[in-house]
Structure 1
Amino acid sequence: MRIDAEHARQALAKWEGFPVHRKPRPFVLTEMGVVALDRLKANTRWRALFDGPGVPESELPPEIVPAAIDYCRDLQTGAPRPLARFIRANGPFATDRGLRGLPAWMMYPEDRRWPFIALDPDFKRRMTWWPPGLSAYSDEESVLADDRRTLTYRFTGTPKQYADYPYAEVFETDTAVLVKPVVVPLDEPGGIRLAYAEKREVVVRLAAPLGNRVLIRLAHGPGSSTFGSPVTVITSA
């Protein structure tokens, strides 16, 4: 099924204001500032960060205090408890260009498996960009080849035994690129399916190098908060 060109235009329009030529390029947080905790499971060196000196509670940015208080609540009763010791260090954040260490405020309560990590509010204001009202969607990564134009677009789609994705439609602007795989059903209508989704991919060639542009997806479609959400792009190297 082909994509509605008007829907593509609407999704791309959300990124018209992205400052693609700003140096350094603003960070696009694909998880809206939530630390990629699953990535930490494979690398425990982050624990050493909490051996450093703490920061007085009086220095905490007021923007993060409510979330910190909520994080420290008693797990059983929900009753408020004193904040754990805070440190300032680079914390891991998921961006549209992969995992990055960004300035953060962090604490590690004794009864928590993972630390509280909040992006520094001043850094967020100055160095990140995100369309108003948009929500992040999925954690799939597409791969950009060395020529910076050949893109292996990865997505969750219909299993191979039921459908093929022979190509994808690509829509490009100066600030964003939208890729929509085109599906061709292989099974008979009304047939019984034993699997509903799996990881798929399709290779496309962009009209121009991706550069600082943002790769986006339709996600849940027009009217949804994920419509036009960014896709993480990593290089083949």
Structure 2
Amino acid sequence: MNTSYQYPRPALTVDCVVFGIGASDAATRKLQVLLIQRDLPPFKNAWALPGGFVRINESLDQAAARELREETGLSKVYLEQFHTFGDPQRDPREHVVSVAHFALVNLFDHKVLAATDARDADWFDADQTPKLAFDHQLILTSAWQRLQQAVRQRPIGFELLPREFTLTQLQQLYEVILNQSLDKRNFRKKLLAMELLIDTQRKQTGVAHRAAKLYRFDRTKYQRLQKAGFHFEL
């Protein structure tokens, strides 16, 4: 059914803040964000978050997943809506409202490539990005703050790790996201007490240091416990 409206309406877009954990060396490991270099005005050649306009009959989540796939080649990644940005001056073209999402990507399994209206796509340290187009620096900062809250309340951080990981890798992931050091003994005690980690009975291979045990996250058990009222909290 076609409907006409008496009043003009803002345009609607989605933007995606894609996080990954970079570098294998613990001393240099940092939270990274995926940016695209715009190939069209406004802000042509500037770096920006992946995103674009929502199509008719397309949900916000569908639009975010499509834009991410079209501009970076990423698909089937964890994607969560977190905030709406509606300053009338945020886009020089017209009044554009953006519904922002953050995505979590395991860099071991996903490769990125620039496509459609993106000239390039690359990973940057989240705290050392180039000047971003539109209000994307504000969106990035807000996404990191929301991620810090979310990883303490839900086990979404496992999306950033390979399927099998060590306890040290898990702790380093939380330290990178939270931007703070964690007590090793307390961290491991709390995680293991939840009984959500599966000991694979295997150890690391090809490492210069003493090989550590490998674990997997028991997603099925977590979902079952969650239905029973279990609350993940770190």
TM-score using structure 1 length: 0.27
| Bigger RCO (CA 8 Å, 6+ sep) | 1
Structure with a larger share of its residues in helix: 2
TM-score using structure 2 length: 0.27
Point out the structure with max Rg over C-alpha.
1
